[in-house]
Amino acid sequence: METIHLRYPMKKTTVCNRESCVLALGFFDGIHVGHRAILEKAKQIAKQKQLKFGVMTFFPHPKDILFPEKKPMKYLTPLKVKEEGFKELGVEKLFIVEFTPDFSALSPKEFVDEYICSFKCKHVVAGFDYCYGAKGKGNMETMVEHGAGKFEVTVISKVKHHYEKISSTAIRGLLAHGRVRDIPSYLGRPYQVQGTPIYYSHVGQNNIFMEIHVDREYRLPKPGLYKLKVEVNGSSYEGVCHQMFINKNGASLLVQMKKCDCKEDFKSVNISWLDFIKGETNTLNDMNKYIQRDELVI
């Protein structure tokens, strides 16, 4: 996958000698089921037309630029993780547009001319509610008008779960209420974060307690006890997140891993959030209620 970083105004050398492509447009935080419908359709069209399969996304989140007085955005998939997800889905060209005040001021027509037509896009695929240009005045109806026949447009209808639109906003709401068990219906998989172990210690013969640092860009579920799956060096273990400590640099999770006899160093772990157990434990006595003879009690 070729990754191209773009910043307004673009240099002429940025857009020259580009191959014709199909572009899926969106922010794609989480790459959830609705996003995948867009991406799969774009991939299908690209294959049919023998064009490159491209994605155009943006970073940082527009809210960080348009509303700087608010807290920085927390992501379901930070940019690096999102890039990995696109690559796994077969994206051939990834355009990452730096969202700046100057970029946000472009009119809808200017955006189409400079960021779609200039890259030899022959077909645009986006969700029904995709907006673009200053104040989000451009939509999928005006996309056809602004394209002036230079590319085709495919609109993906609303994807729903139990009558609710599947969206990044809905998933953030589930996290805020600890409803991680419901998230696979929206994401197509459990909610995951990547972390870096700070230290770990063996408890008995079968368990490890590990403190894991999670980058501040990640959005975490509300504090509490959670059932986890922890992937370490290609192996998976049952686990429980006992406590979360939030600070300006991110979060530290106190995680117990069941039947883990790993002796090697842990450089990184992948955490899947499976279910909410109860509110956060604050004392060692509370925690001991969930540990019994080297076993997890869930």
Q: How far apart are CA 290 and CA 285, in angstroms?
A: 9
Q: What is the pLDDT of residue 202?
A: 73
pLDDT in tens, 85-117: 999 999 999 999 999 999 999 999 999 999 999
Alpha helices in 50-139, H assignment, sequence order? 62-66, 79-88, 101-104, 108-115
The hierarchical CATH code for the domain 188-296 is 2.40.30.30
Residue 298 in this model has a pLDDT that exceeds 50: no
Q: What is the pLDDT of residue 110?
A: 98
- Residue type (1 letter), 191: Y
Tell me the two tokens of residue 202: 């063996």
What percent of the chain is modeled with pLDDT above 70?
89
Q: Work out the pLDDT band at 279, boundaries 50, 70, 90.
A: confident
CATH class of the domain comprising 2-157? alpha beta
Tell me the two tokens of residue 54: 């491209």
Q: What is the pLDDT of residue 258?
A: 80
Residue 290 in this model has a pLDDT that exceeds 70: no
- The angle subtended at Cα 153 by Cα 147 and Cα 154, nearest 5°, is 165
Q: What is the pLDDT of residue 294?
A: 42
Q: Work out the pLDDT band at 281, boundaries 50, 70, 90.
A: low
- The angle subtended at Cα 238 by Cα 237 and Cα 244, nearest 5°, is 110
Q: Work out the pLDDT band at 263, boundaries 50, 70, 90.
A: low
Q: Break the chain into its structural domains and give their ranges.
A: 2-157, 188-296
Q: What is the pLDDT of residue 206?
A: 72
Residue 285 in this model has a pLDDT that exceeds 70: no
Across 8-12, 16-20, 191-195, the highest mean pLDDT is recorded for 191-195
Q: How far apart are CA 74 and CA 65, in angstroms?
A: 14
Q: Are 190 and 180 in contact (CB under 8 A)?
A: yes
Residue 77 in this model has a pLDDT that exceeds 50: yes
DSSP 249: T
State phi, psi for 25 to the nearest 5 degrees. -110, 135
Each as own residue / partner, the long-range contacts of residues 247-250 (CB below 8 Å, 24 or more positions apart, any chain) are 248/216, 249/213, 249/216, 250/213, 250/214, 250/215, 250/216, 250/217, 250/218
State phi, psi for 269 to the nearest 5 degrees. -135, 155
pLDDT in tens, 201-235: 877 667 888 899 999 999 999 999 999 999 988 88
Q: Which helix (H) or strand (E) holds 283?
A: none
Residue 288 in this model has a pLDDT that exceeds 60: no
Q: How far apart are CA 172 and CA 29, in angstroms?
A: 10
Q: Are 119 and 95 in contact (CB under 8 A)?
A: yes
